[in-house]
């Protein structure tokens, strides 16, 4: 049976596969958490991924024994938000917010026009 996975399902399957491989540490480098909670990424990994000092990462736990780091570029994210905001019609937005506020108030207080 062939099962095609969507992008999200494929991503989750990749994470699952990686986590299963972690159980078999083999040639994987080992690192420790220091007294300040810091984890040193092994030099080979930093070099292979081009990780530079000061780069930022999002971190989330996958389960009780696994975390995922995702490199982020906050400057690029902010620049993207600013570019998108330049295209917003604030007069139209203000009008829509007012209309929605009025609609909610009419519904909540059972006011009819």
Q: What is the pLDDT of residues 19-49, one digit of tens each?
A: 666 555 556 778 899 999 999 999 988 999 9
Contact 57, 72 (CB under 8 A): yes
| pLDDT score recorded for residue 62 | 85
Asked whether the predicted pLDDT for residue 53 surpasses 80, the reply is yes
Q: 0.85 cut: is pTM over it? A: no
pLDDT for res 4: 53
Which residue in 93, 90, 113 sits closest to 103, CA to CA?
113
pLDDT band at 2 (very low <50, low <70, confident <90, very high): very low
The token pair that represents 46 in the structure block = 């930093």
For the chain, how many residues are written? 113
State how far the Cα of 28 lies from the Cα of 21, in Å rounded to an integer: 10
Higher pLDDT, 28 or 99: 99
């Amino acid at each position: 049976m062939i099962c095609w996975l969507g992008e999200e399902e494929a991503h989750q399957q990749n994470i699952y596969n990686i986590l299963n491989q972690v159980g078999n540490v083999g040639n994987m480098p080992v690192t420790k958490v220091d007294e300040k909670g810091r984890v040193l990424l092994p030099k080979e990994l930093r070099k292979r991924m081009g990780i530079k000092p000061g780069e930022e990462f999002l971190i989330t736990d996958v389960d009780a024994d696994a975390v995922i780091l995702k490199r982020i570029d906050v400057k690029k994210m902010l620049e993207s938000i600013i570019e998108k905001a330049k295209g917003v019609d604030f007069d139209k937005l203000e009008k829509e917010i007012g209309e929605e506020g009025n609609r909610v108030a009419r519904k909540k207080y059972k006011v009819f026009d």
